[in-house]
Amino acid sequence: MHTSLPSGTKAVIEKPSSTESEMGLVVIPDVMGLRPLFDEMVKRLAGEWGMPVCSFELYPELEDLNVEERLASASELDDSRIIGDALAAAELVQTNQVAILGFCMGGMYTYKTVASQRFSKHVSFYGMIRVPEAWKSESQSEPVSSLKEGDASSVLAIVGSNDSWTPQEDVDLLISTGVSVVTYRDAEHGFVHDPSRPAHRPLDAQDAWMKAREWILNRT
């Protein structure tokens, strides 16, 4: 179901048909934001994982921008607005506990939500560990700063060994904060969530989704 957050940002939410769940889930999409891929993902996760799931647009009122334009505008994104939308999405799912996961740029923002201490579990799929140079601005904080302000041990990072957006030196920095990291050998950026990408690796994607689900549902 399509809806809007209090900020006016477009969102989509799906709830399981019969299961009462104490856990909800917020999904932060990649740079291209809400689109049929995420509509379908939200519906699938709600059904398969038995929990309400909400996702929202990263570029509200700029949905018509193409990928190059979105990347070029990344320095104009505001942490407070995006994290505020993530927190609003958490309220929308109406569960006792809420987990969060994100992909690419959304994975970077997943790290940044840790400081809010709102989410019980975090899963970042190949999120940028440092803000890329071209994206830096006063409104873009460093993910590692947020990890140090919250519980980094609540975070699972899923990365590929051949991903230039998450170089090994950044992964080492991530591990030093207490984040758990799973690295898939020879995988490139975006190998899990979008089957239409050349980088997609079906077997690795299946395993990564399984690990994400186990991480989120393990409440210890």
Look-up of token digits 């070029």: 72
Q: What is the extent of the structural domain holding 29?
A: 2-217
The CATH number of the domain holding residue 82 is 3.40.50.1820
Q: What are the pLDDT tens digits along the chain (220 aa)?
A: 999 999 999 999 999 987 678 899 999 999 999 999 999 999 999 999 999 999 999 999 888 899 999 999 999 999 999 999 999 999 999 898 999 999 999 999 999 999 999 999 999 999 999 999 999 999 999 999 999 999 999 999 999 999 999 999 999 999 999 999 999 999 999 999 999 999 999 999 999 999 999 999 985 4
* Tokens of residue 185, six digits: 């050998």
Query: What contacts 24+ positions apart, CB below 8 Å, involve 205-212?
Result: 208/125, 208/158, 208/182, 208/184, 211/156, 211/158, 211/182, 212/101, 212/123, 212/125, 212/156, 212/158
The tokens for 199 are 């980088």
| Count of the separate structural domains present in the chain | 1
The token duo for 44 is 């699938």
- What pTM was estimated for this model as a whole? 0.95
The whole-number pLDDT of residue 19 equals 66
